[in-house]
């Protein structure tokens, strides 16, 4: 319980810094551009890590509204985002070539992510920014076309790309490359991989979750943890939205002081100047909340990223449950086939079987039939053994690779959340200082009254 | 200042008693800084003068208590007086007073000084949101308002020497005095009736009083706005704190809300009530002028007839009365304005200061947190580097 809330509070820190930079993911080995306000240390780390990001600078530069016909041939408006890429070596050499660019809409990002989810079920795949605005407080609109929302989504999409491109496994994927470089043929290429067929059915996965007998304890703990992370972050986000609403109210009402003091100063001789200037400070105070809450929104976004990451983590755990369950089923199946074989060959019935019953009732079958069935069973047993072998391999591989990625994810998360919390605190400090400044100014004005 | 007081004193038929000797040290004033050496030396004369000017008087209103009788339940407040003034028999008094007694004091003061601005009392009832008249918050707010009322009377250069104040502060039982006033009230009522019969409104109100009237109207509307805004802020802050408490522990913002409610809002409230007082004072001044004008007109109409001299004297007296009232009101008006400025300035300053302190506290919390995080971070970095 405590661990979850610790994570959640440290997220707030990281949010501040990221929000300020605007350029996104504080993943240390993912950091990117020359424009990055932070130090050259990040650049060297980029070069060292064997990821796409080393070779290519990526950013989501702009967003635009477009109209077009959708799948059911109806006119719709949607937003597209400009992805720009530049080769890293050119930048290192000091050249400044024009970036290659293409436009993508949100649904294409979703397609890419679904592909990655299916193709790399042992990886905690970075999440996309939310599809619809949630945890809104009254000032924020829930409209997907709202420019603030679009801007925050642009930042989130860039973050997603940077995380994927800096991932040791994901960054080498061809489809990802295509996504970044081929605007028009990409969709066909993705569909051709046939990934949709490989996707596990939800029903299968759900049934596995309930019926699996011996899942790896570490993954069960991980699942438990991801549940807690999710619940804590969503509580935090909800509470934050309500608090933001109230704080907005408090600040804005002070703006009324501005108006009233101004009117009042008109009828006063000695107090006039003091009241008037105090009124201006009250107006400034009321206006300051807009910037503060906008910045806070960035941190909320970072918290949301980890909310969605929890889902990705859970997906990896579910995949484990599935592979484990399939292994158990295959093993079970093999055992039962072997038993049947034994019964048939020795005539000793160990367990109740329908065949045994019918034999008793209708007499034993003819020897040829028995031979045929034994043969069949032997083949099935062979297949079964292959299946068990394959499933074991699949399961073990998944466990191995997944565990590696989960460790990587944990490290990244701890770092990110810690940074976010620090940066959030920095923002709070600045907000307090501003408050002190404003009220001290107001004091000065009152003194002159 | 003192000259006009003499004039007023003789006209308004009570005397301003000046102390001429410094009382013996047996009656020591509450805050003793140093006594005179001997009564006749020059320095002690100076001391006398200084002491007289200070006229120390300290009044506290506290210890509200509930009294239940067969007929009613009411609250009394303990009023403690410490004084070095000669018009008081002792240097310390303690009495119990209820709200009605304060009302009596105020109306007596208003009668005797119709054109002086007497600070208002808190309202008798507060209708909205208060079911229980004896709610603790209500009692405390009222107690503070009563304290402010007495402080204002004490600070007023003319009212502070009023015998009614003396009686109020010292008499164990106020009842006999209140009965006296009742008869005074009936006499006053009679005068008013007389006035209203001859009243036709004021002919030519001096400009300064018209301006005063306008200003009071505007001021009361502005203060009302400020009050509304403040109340709204209190509400918003309360809701904010409620949400915060569900969110995280380290915030302590209670101080913000309580401060506005206990400092700025009561002061604003007092000055809202003052608006009514001021209007009443100006009405009375107008009436006095109207009385004079109507008498004068009546005299002019009668022309040359008997009884002229008597009438003339009457009219003359009324004219002087008008002049005296005008000048006393003018002076009191500027005293009141300066006092209002001070009060509001203090209250606003205090509000701003409170906010600054609130932010400073929050700042300290966050900076401490940052410091602890950065220490942790740098420790880790040292471990990483082999």
Provide the CATH number for the domain around residue A267.
1.20.1270.60
Is the Cβ–Cβ distance between B237 and B251 less than 8 Å? Answer: no
Please tell me the distance in Å from B322's CA to the nearest CA on chain A: 28
On the question of pLDDT at B154 being above 70, the answer is yes
- From chain A, the residues in CB contact with B247 under 8 A are 236, 239-240, 242-243
The answer to whether residues A377 and A445 belong to one domain is yes
Best of B252, B370, B378 to mutate (most A CBs within 10 Å, chain A): B370
On the question of pLDDT at A287 being above 90, the answer is yes
Q: Could you tell me if A422 lies within 8 Å of chain B, comparing CB atoms? A: yes
**What is the structure's pLDDT at A389?**
92
Is the Cβ–Cβ distance between A140 and A116 less than 8 Å? Answer: no
Domain count, chain A: 2
Average pLDDT, chain A: 80
- What Cα–Cα distance (Å) separates residue B354 from each residue in A436, B255, B264? 10, 8, 11
pLDDT tens, residue by residue, B104-125: 999 999 888 888 999 999 887 6
Q: Which of A427, A321, A393 is nearest to A18 (CA)?
A: A427
CB atoms closer than 10 angstroms to residue A291? 11
Q: Give the count of Cβ contacts less than 8 A between chain A and B.
A: 117
Out of A162, A193, A224, a domain closes at: A193
The answer as to whether A385 is a domain residue is yes
Segment A319-330 mean pLDDT: 91
The answer as to whether A334 is a domain residue is yes
Taking CA atoms, what residue in A is nearest to B342? A449
pLDDT band at B24 (very low <50, low <70, confident <90, very high): very low
Between B128 and A132, the more confident residue is A132
The answer as to whether A430 is a domain residue is yes
The answer as to whether A239 is a domain residue is yes
**Residue in the structure block whose two tokens are 């006033």:** B181
Out of A160, A193, A226, a domain closes at: A193
Please tell me the distance in Å from B283's CA to the nearest CA on chain A: 22
pLDDT tens, residue by residue, A191-228: 888 888 888 888 888 888 888 888 888 889 999 999 99
The range of the structural domain enclosing residue A427 comes to 205-342+364-449
CA–CA gap between residue B384 and residue B291 (Å, rounded): 96
pLDDT tens, residue by residue, B285-341: 888 888 888 888 888 877 666 667 777 888 888 888 889 888 989 999 999 999 999
Segment A142-150 mean pLDDT: 77
CB contact under 8 A, B240 and A422: no
Please tell me the distance in Å from A30's CA to the nearest CA on chain B: 19
CA–CA gap between residue A358 and residue A336 (Å, rounded): 18
On the question of pLDDT at A182 being above 80, the answer is yes
The answer as to whether A1 is a domain residue is yes
Global pTM reads: 0.73
Domains identified in chain B and CATH numbers? 52-198 (3.30.1520.10), 202-302+310-377 (1.20.1270.60)
DSSP E strand boundaries for A39-159: 56-69, 75-87, 100-105
The answer to whether residues A176 and A279 belong to one domain is no
Q: Could you tell me if B344 lies within 8 Å of chain A, comparing CB atoms? A: yes
Q: Identify the DSSP state of B304.
A: S
**Closest in B243, B367, B374 to A246, CB measured:** B243
pLDDT band at B244 (very low <50, low <70, confident <90, very high): confident
On the question of pLDDT at B256 being above 90, the answer is no
Segment B238-265 mean pLDDT: 71
**What is the structure's pLDDT at B360?**
92
Between A31 and A177, the more confident residue is A177
Q: Could you tell me if B229 lies within 8 Å of chain A, comparing CB atoms? A: yes
- From chain A, the residues in CB contact with B348 under 8 A are 278, 442, 446, 449
On the question of pLDDT at B14 being above 80, the answer is no
CB contact under 8 A, A428 and B226: no
The answer to whether residues A154 and A291 belong to one domain is no
Segment A343-372 mean pLDDT: 71
Out of A169, A193, A217, a domain closes at: A193
pLDDT band at A145 (very low <50, low <70, confident <90, very high): confident
On the question of pLDDT at B4 being above 50, the answer is no
**Closest in B215, B233, B366 to A254, CB measured:** B233
The answer as to whether A348 is a domain residue is no
Q: Could you tell me if A192 lies within 8 Å of chain B, comparing CB atoms? A: no
Between B89 and A408, the more confident residue is A408
Task: Read off the tokens for A127.
Answer: 């999440």
- Using CB atoms and an 8 Å cut-off, which of residues 259-278 of chain A contact chain B? 260-261, 263-264, 267, 270-271, 274, 278
Task: Read off the tokens for B81.
Answer: 């007086």
Q: Could you tell me if B246 lies within 8 Å of chain A, comparing CB atoms? A: yes
**Closest in A9, A250, A278 to B233, CB measured:** A250
The CATH number covering residue A21 comes to 3.30.1520.10
CA–CA gap between residue A318 and residue A206 (Å, rounded): 8
pLDDT band at B55 (very low <50, low <70, confident <90, very high): low
CA–CA gap between residue B237 and residue A257 (Å, rounded): 15
Taking CA atoms, what residue in B is nearest to A279? B226
The answer to whether residues A65 and A123 belong to one domain is yes
CB contact under 8 A, A249 and B236: yes
CB contact under 8 A, B240 and A250: yes
The answer to whether residues A86 and A183 belong to one domain is yes
pLDDT tens, residue by residue, B59-77: 888 888 888 888 888 888 9
**What is the structure's pLDDT at B114?**
85
């Amino acid at each position: 319980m405590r661990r979850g809330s610790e994570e959640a509070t440290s997220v707030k820190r990281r949010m501040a810094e990221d929000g300020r930079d605007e350029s996104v993911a504080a993943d240390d080995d993912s950091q990117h551009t020359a424009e990055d306000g932070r130090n050259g240390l990040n650049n060297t780390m980029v070069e060292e890590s064997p990821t796409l990001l080393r070779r290519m600078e990526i950013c989501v530069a702009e967003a635009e509204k477009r109209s077009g016909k959708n799948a059911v041939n109806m006119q719709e408006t949607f937003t597209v985002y400009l992805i720009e890429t530049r080769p890293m070596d050119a930048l290192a050499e000091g050249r400044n070539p024009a970036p290659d660019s293409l436009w993508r809409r949100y649904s294409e990002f979703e397609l890419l992510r679904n592909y990655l989810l299916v193709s790399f079920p042992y990886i905690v795949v970075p999440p996309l920014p939310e599809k619809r605005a949630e945890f809104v407080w009254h000032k924020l609109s829930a409209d997907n076309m709202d420019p603030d929302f679009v801007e925050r989504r642009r930042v989130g999409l860039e973050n997603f790309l940077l995380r994927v491109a800096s991932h040791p496994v994901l960054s080498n994927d061809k489809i990802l490359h295509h996504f970044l470089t081929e605007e028009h043929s990409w969709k066909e290429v993705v569909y051709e991989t046939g990934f949709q067929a490989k996707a596990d059915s939800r029903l299968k996965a759900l049934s596995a979750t309930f019926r699996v007998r011996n899942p790896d304890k570490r993954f069960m703990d991980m699942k438990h943890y991801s549940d807690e992370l999710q619940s804590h972050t969503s509580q935090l986000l909800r509470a934050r939205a309500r608090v933001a609403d109230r704080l907005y109210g408090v600040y804005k009402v002070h703006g009324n002081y501005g108006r009233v003091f101004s009117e009042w100063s008109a009828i006063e001789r000695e107090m006039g100047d003091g009241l008037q200037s105090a009124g201006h400070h009250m107006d400034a105070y009321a206006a300051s909340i807009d910037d503060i809450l906008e910045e806070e929104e960035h941190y909320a976004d970072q918290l949301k990223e980890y909310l969605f990451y929890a889902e990705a983590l859970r997906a990896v755990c579910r995949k484990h449950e599935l592979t484990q369950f399939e292994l158990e089923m295959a093993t079970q199946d093999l055992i039962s086939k072997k038993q049947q074989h034994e019964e048939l060959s020795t005539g000793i019935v160990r367990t109740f079987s329908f065949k045994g019953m019918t034999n008793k009732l209708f007499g034993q079958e003819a020897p040829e039939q028995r031979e045929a069935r034994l043969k069949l069973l032997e083949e099935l047993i062979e297949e079964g053994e292959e299946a068990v072998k394959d499933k074991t391999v699949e399961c073990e591989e998944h466990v191995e690779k997944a565990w590696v990625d989960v460790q990587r994810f944990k490290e990244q998360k701890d770092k990110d959340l810690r940074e976010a919390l620090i940066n959030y605190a920095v923002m709070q400090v600045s907000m307090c200082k501003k408050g002190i400044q404003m009220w001290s100014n107001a004091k000065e004005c009152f003194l002159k009254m | 200042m003192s000259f006009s007081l003499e004039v007023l004193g003789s006209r308004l038929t009570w005397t301003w008693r000046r102390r001429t000797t410094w009382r013996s040290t047996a009656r020591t004033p509450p805050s003793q800084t140093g006594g005179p050496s001997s009564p006749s030396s020059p320095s002690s004369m100076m001391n006398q003068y200084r002491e007289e000017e200070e006229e120390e008087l300290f009044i506290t209103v506290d210890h509200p208590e509930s009294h239940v009788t067969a007929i009613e339940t009411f609250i009394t407040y303990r009023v403690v007086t410490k004084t070095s003034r000669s018009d008081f028999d002792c240097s310390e008094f303690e009495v119990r007073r209820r709200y009605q007694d304060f009302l009596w004091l105020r109306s007596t003061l208003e009668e005797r000084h119709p054109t002086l601005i007497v600070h208002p009392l808190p309202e008798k009832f507060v209708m909205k949101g208060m079911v229980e008249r004896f709610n603790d918050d209500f009692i405390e707010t009222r107690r503070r308002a009563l304290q402010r009322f007495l402080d204002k009377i004490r600070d007023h250069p003319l009212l502070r020497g009023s015998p009614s104040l003396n009686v109020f502060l010292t008499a164990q039982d106020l009842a006999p005095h209140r009965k006296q006033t009742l008869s005074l009230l009936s006499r006053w009522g009679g005068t008013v009736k007389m006035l209203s019969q001859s009243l036709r409104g004021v002919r030519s109100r001096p400009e300064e009083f018209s301006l005063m009237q306008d200003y009071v109207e505007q001021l009361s509307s502005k203060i009302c706005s400020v009050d509304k805004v403040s109340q709204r802020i209190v509400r918003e802050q309360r809701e904010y704190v409620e949400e915060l408490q569900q969110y995280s522990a380290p915030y302590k913002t209670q101080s913000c809300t309580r401060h506005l409610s206990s400092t700025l809002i009561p002061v604003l409230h007092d000055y809202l009530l003052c608006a009514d007082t001021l209007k009443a004072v100006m009405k009375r001044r107008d009436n006095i002028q109207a009385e004079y004008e109507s008498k004068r007109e009546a005299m002019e109409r009668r022309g040359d007839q008997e009884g002229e001299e008597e009438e003339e004297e009457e009219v003359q007296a009324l004219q002087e009365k008008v002049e005296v009232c005008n000048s006393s009101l003018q002076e009191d008006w500027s005293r009141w304005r300066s006092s209002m400025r001070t009060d509001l300035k203090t209250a606003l300053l205090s509000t701003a200061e409170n906010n600054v302190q609130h932010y400073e506290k929050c700042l300290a919390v966050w900076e401490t947190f940052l410091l602890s995080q950065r220490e942790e971070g740098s420790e880790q970095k040292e471990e990483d580097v082999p």
